[in-house]
Structure formats: C-alpha cells, structure tokens
Amino acid sequence: MKKISLVVAFAMSMAETAVVSAQSRTTTQEKNPYTLVYDGAITGNEPGKVHIHPVTYRLNGIDIAANVYTPANYDETKSYPAVVVAHPNGGIKEQTAGLYAQRLAASGYVTIAADAAYQGASGGEPRHTDNPAFRTEDIRGMVDYISRYTGVDVHRIGALGICGGGGYTLKAAQSDKRIKAVATLSMFNSGEVRRNGFQNSQIGTIQERLKLASDARAKELVDGEIIYSGVARVTDEEIANTPTDLYREGFIYYYRTHAHPNSTFLYTTKSLLDLMTWDATDQIELIDQPLLMIAGEKADTKYMTDEAFPKAVNAKNKELFVIPGATHIETYWKMEYVSKAVNKLESFFKQNLK
C-alpha cells in the first residue's frame, strides 16, 4: 500500500479536521441531493426549469464524473449550442463551475462541468495529481462527451475556464478547433505560479523546488510514498493572517462557506515537474477563435489575464472584460459579480456560437 506524506503551508489538529470534514459532508448532503454548494443550486428536476443530469464517462481509461445541465423545456429534437466549463484548481463541479454551468443553461445552452481526472469524484491514482496535459485533456474529454449529447449542435460548442481551468482552457483551444469560442474567468496560469510563485514571489527558489519535486518522484518510485504539497486544512487564525486576497478568500470559500469533501488545495509534489515547465500562454497565438477574458478589477491574479490577453494576437473578436470592484474569489460566488460575468458570457457566446 502506498504511503502518503504532506508538505503543507498550514496545519490543524486532527480533531478540528474531523469536525470540519464532517460538517462539510453533512451540509452538502443534507441541503442538496446533488451535493451542489452554490446559491440557487438545483435541488430537483422540475418541469419548465433547468435540469441536471449526473453522468460518467471514460477518458483514457479513467472514469470521469460530470454534471450536464439542460435548458428549461429541453427538446431533444431541436439543436442547442453547448458550453464546457472547466473548474478552478482545487475546485470541483459542485462549486463555481456548476454555478456558471447552471446559469448558462438557463440562457439556453447545454452545459457540462466535470471533475478533472485524479480529482473530485473522478477516478485516477495518485489522487490530486495536477498535470497540465491531463487537465487539458479533461477539457477535450468534455467536448467529446457533449458533442455526442442528444440535441447538441457540434458546430456550436464553446468553452469557459475558471481560474486554473481558464489557463487549461486557453491551452485546449490552441489545438482543439471543435471549440468555437473561448472564455476565461479569473484566469490563473498554473505553470507561471508554480514556477515563479504567486506574484513572482519565489523566482529565487525555482531550482530548489524542482529538486523537491524530483525527490518526491524518486521516493514514490522507491518505496511507494506519495508526497503532497499545498494546504490540507487551515485555522481561522491562519486565514485571518493570510496576506493575499486570493488565498485568504480562497481558504474561506473552499474550507468554510462553500466547502465540499471532494475539494482540496492539495496536489502531488511531483506534479511540479510538469507544472513548472508549462505555461498557459506558450503558443497562445494558435488561438484563432473568438476570445473573451474576464477578471475582477481588484483581483490580485489579474496580472495573469493582463499578460495573456495581448499575446493572443490571432484571436478573433478578442475582448477583455473587467468587473468593477471584484476580487478573484468573489467572481466565484458573489451574485452581483456572477451576474455581470454571466451577462457578458451570454452575449459573447450568443454572438460567436451562431
């Protein structure tokens, strides 16, 4: 049996961990039969409203868990545009990806939000592997599935990527031209951040961290021990003392207000071997589809969208949309910001998925 070690930024007592985990599980299961944890989530398929359809499919030998959302009064004999929604790093389909998928379905799109392979309710070992090639393939896999869904027009498929899912969506759209329109929300360039640190705070330790990742791979090979990096759990005091909005608000979102037992900030340390040599903007000029990038005005991650947007020189109908007053995490759940993002996405996809 494989052993597991954690290299985490914060710690909590085992008793506190058990309480938080139990509360998260009880809350999601009692409040929503689909364990959705966003405001306005579907609790049952009612006539005349958006419906949810939990599905599973195989992708490269791995079982993928997903939710498909169909518009109100969905008619299989008609033709509908579709949007695939890629979740943030650490996120799952039941959180903000599901929220945006449901809201877009209410506007007439067939949508799908899937858990990435090795994460959430999807299969794959070791758990919490965060490989950019796999995450990009996850998006292609959603396109595979939804393109064969009854009623979907294969010539009108768009993609929305949120946070880390945004970076991976930019990469998928470079080569997969089944994606006819590309949108990102609060885009997070996972490769840049894992390589340079958030806001370029760890450039001086790149080689040391690559050595840690190499050692982690060697250790797993020799004795089967899996080493994890990231944050397993966090106390209220640690949250309060976190200096950046992204991580402070992220801890609150993922471990308090929108907690779900399948969601975690952990990733295998050996994932850094792939993450640190990858970049969402590498060959971004291959995107020739319409492109919309959305970011909060006050998001401390906005610099990544600002870096990527001008590099997409061949994107058609390219637009950068800034949500006044919004931070990165607030675009996940705060309804005034979600509504502004959804309204912009609706007009973008309506124009470009004709």
Quote the CA–CA distance of 208 and 196 in Å, as a whole number.
12
Tokens 């499919």 found at: 57
The pLDDT of residue 30: 65
Residue 327 confidence (pLDDT) above 60? yes
Chain segment 253-274, per-residue pLDDT in tens: 999 999 999 999 899 999 999 9
The pLDDT of residue 31: 85
- Start-to-end Cα distance in the chain: 52
Tokens 């896999």 found at: 141
Measured CA to CA in angstroms, residue 97 lies from 9, 87, 260 at distances of 26, 5, 13
The gap from C-alpha 85 to its chain's centroid, in whole angstroms, comes to 8
The pLDDT of residue 232: 86
Share of the chain above pLDDT 70, in %: 92
Cα–Cα–Cα angle for 179, 127, 33, nearest 5°? 75
Chain segment 328-350, per-residue pLDDT in tens: 999 999 999 999 999 999 999 99
CATH at 173: 3.40.50.1820
Instruction: Show the tokens assigned to 11.
Output: 């710690």
Residue 5 confidence (pLDDT) above 90? no
The pLDDT of residue 3: 53
Chain segment 83-119, per-residue pLDDT in tens: 999 999 999 999 999 999 999 999 999 999 999 999 9
Task: Print burial letters for 253-282: b (CB count within 10 Å at least 16), e (below 16).
Answer: bbbeebbbbbbbbbbbbbbbbbbbebbbbe
Quote the CA–CA distance of 177 and 280 in Å, as a whole number.
17
How many domains are contained in the chain? 1
The pLDDT of residue 315: 98
The pLDDT of residue 323: 98
The pLDDT of residue 231: 87
Measured CA to CA in angstroms, residue 238 lies from 14, 82, 249 at distances of 16, 41, 12
For the CA atoms of 66, 72, 74, 78, what is the dihedral angle to 10 degrees? -120
Chain segment 10-67, per-residue pLDDT in tens: 333 323 333 344 444 445 556 899 999 999 999 999 999 999 999 999 999 999 999 9
The pLDDT of residue 210: 98
Quote the CA–CA distance of 188 and 300 in Å, as a whole number.
10
Mean per-residue pLDDT, 140-166: 98
Residue 211 confidence (pLDDT) above 70? yes
The pLDDT of residue 20: 43
Query: Do residues 119 and 155 make contact, with C-beta atoms less than 8 angstroms apart?
Result: no
Q: Could you list the residue range(s) of the whole structural domain that residue 71 is in?
A: 3-352
Share of the chain above pLDDT 90, in %: 90
Residue 152 confidence (pLDDT) above 50? yes
- pTM value is 0.92
Quote the CA–CA distance of 288 and 212 in Å, as a whole number.
38
Q: In what order do the strands lie in the sheet with 267-268?
A: 3-8, 225-230, 267-268
